[in-house]
Every structure is written in C-alpha cells, then in structure tokens.
C-alpha cells in the first residue's frame, strides 16, 4: 500500500491532537483569533475539516487547547531563585509569551476550563508564594496583582502618539491641548516610548518592569508586616 502524501507530494505526517493545536496557534498568530475556523485549520493542515473531529471535540476544545499551549511556553523560575526573583522572571516571561501571541490574553479571559499547563502554572505560583511565607489571603492578592500586570499591561496613553501625525500637525495638536490639559501635554512632549533607554528610558519593557518591581516590593513589605507586626513602627 502506497504511503499517503500531502498536496505537495511529501509524505503526510499523521494527524494528532498536538499537531492540530500547534497549527491552530500558528494560524491565530498569523491572522488573529478571528481567522481560526475549522475550515481554515483543515486547509492549513492539508486535510478536510471533518477529519479534525477525530482529534478534537469541537472548536471550544481547540480554544482551550491553544490557551494551554501558550501557558506552557512561560518559563518556570529556577528552583534556586528567591521568591521575588522567581516571580519577576515568571512575569517577564509571561509578557514575552503574550507579545508573541497577542490574541491570547483576551482568549484566556474567556476560558472557563483550565488545562493541565494552566493548572500547573497556578499551582507552582501559589506554592512559590506560600513557601515564601505569604498567607492564603495575601497569596490570592499577589496572584491577582502580578497576573493583572502581565495580562493587562498595555502601552501608555498616547503611545501611538502625535508622532504619527507628522511634526507640524503634532505641534499644533499639542498647542491646542496645552491650556486644557497641561500635564498631559507636558508628558507627551517630554516622554516617548521610542527614547534611548541607556538613561533609563521610556520603552514599554522598562515601564513594565518598573511597575512589576513596585508590586513585588510592596508585596514583600506587606508579608513582612503580617508576619512580624511588632517590628512595624
């Protein structure tokens, strides 16, 4: 019996759920989550859409699966790192992963059935904080604060800013804003997310890590206060 080949005449790689999900991630990366349909996915894999149902239950099964694949790409912190360094590493890695898959945060928020990678991620994060001395309540707060930073971080107001308007139009726009919004005008005039970062510049990664460090420092102080209230003055 002759081996099956794909439309290009190459030996056909057997279809598996893992292969279907990886192709779905690639499809979403290329065209956004809106481009992900059973028909498009079948075309990308070189198969009829109906054959996908031998490996996935439905489109919802695919959406749950690709969220889990994205989460699995987040680096696990070193077991030798202290909790702040570990949480910092994990949050920065999460941001890098979500920048690679910009469709993922919105999809994550819509999912109600966490997969194995998501469960491992949360369990290890909770364990990291609990072993560092955080109470259950403070651990809950910390996960929300750091998770919101990683998932919800967006570029600052006016990041697409007046540079897109051209220098002359931008100057007029800023003058018109100056009287009513003096502080916004000052910020837009002085700060650009494209500035040289060698002097502690203003790009998005700098802003993200600045806010992340504030959260981690604050959590450390709250933990120490809760565990050693007699030392607080």
- Express each pLDDT in 158-195 by its tens digit: 344 444 555 565 566 666 667 776 665 665 565 554 54
Is 61 part of a structural domain of the chain? no
CATH of the domain at 120: 1.10.357.10
Q: How confident is the model at residue 227 (pLDDT cuts 50, 70, 90)?
A: confident
Answer whether 32's CB lies under 8 Å from 23's CB: no
Cβ-based neighbour number of residue 139 at 10 Å? 20
Measured distance CA(128)–CA(143) in Å, rounded: 11
Structure tokens at 205: 């990664």
Cβ-based neighbour number of residue 118 at 10 Å? 18
CB contact burial 17-33 (16+ within 10 A = b; e otherwise):
eeebbebbbebbbeeeb
* pLDDT for the residue 205: 83
- Express each pLDDT in 100-150 by its tens digit: 999 999 899 888 888 889 888 888 888 888 989 998 888 888 888 887 777
Q: Are residues 123 and 137 in the same domain?
A: yes
Q: Are residues 87 and 133 in the same domain?
A: yes
- Express each pLDDT in 15-25 by its tens digit: 999 999 999 99
Answer whether 63's CB lies under 8 Å from 111's CB: yes
Measured distance CA(76)–CA(121) in Å, rounded: 8
Give the domain range for residue 144: 70-156+198-231
Residues 6 or more apart in contact with residue 131 via CB below 8 angstroms: 83
* pLDDT for the residue 27: 97
> What is the number of structural domains in the chain?
3
Is 77 part of a structural domain of the chain? yes
Place of tokens 């075309």: 43
* pLDDT for the residue 6: 56
């Amino acid at each position: 019996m002759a081996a099956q080949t794909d439309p290009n005449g190459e030996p056909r790689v057997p279809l598996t759920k893992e292969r279907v999900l990886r192709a779905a991630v690639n499809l979403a990366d290329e065209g956004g989550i809106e481009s992900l349909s059973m028909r498009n996915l079948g075309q990308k894999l070189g198969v009829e859409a109906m054959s996908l149902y031998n490996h996935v239950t439905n489109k919802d099964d695919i959406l749950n699966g690709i969220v889990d694949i994205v989460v699995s790409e987040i680096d696990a912190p070193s077991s030798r790192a202290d909790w702040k360094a570990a949480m910092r590493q994990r949050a920065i890695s999460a941001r890098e992963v979500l920048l690679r898959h910009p469709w993922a945060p919105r999809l994550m928020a819509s999912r109600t059935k966490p997969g194995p990678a998501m469960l491992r991620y949360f369990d290890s994060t909770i364990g990291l904080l609990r072993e560092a001395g955080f109470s259950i309540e403070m651990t809950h707060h910390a996960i929300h604060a750091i998770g919101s930073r990683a998932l919800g971080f967006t570029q600052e107001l006016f990041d697409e800013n007046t540079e897109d308007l051209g220098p002359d139009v931008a100057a007029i726009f800023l003058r018109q804003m100056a009287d009513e919004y003096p502080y916004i005008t000052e910020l837009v005039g002085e700060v650009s997310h494209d500035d040289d970062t060698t002097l502690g510049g203003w790009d998005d990664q700098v802003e993200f890590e600045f806010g992340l460090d504030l959260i981690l420092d604050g959590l450390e102080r709250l933990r120490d206060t809760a565990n050693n209230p007699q030392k607080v003055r």
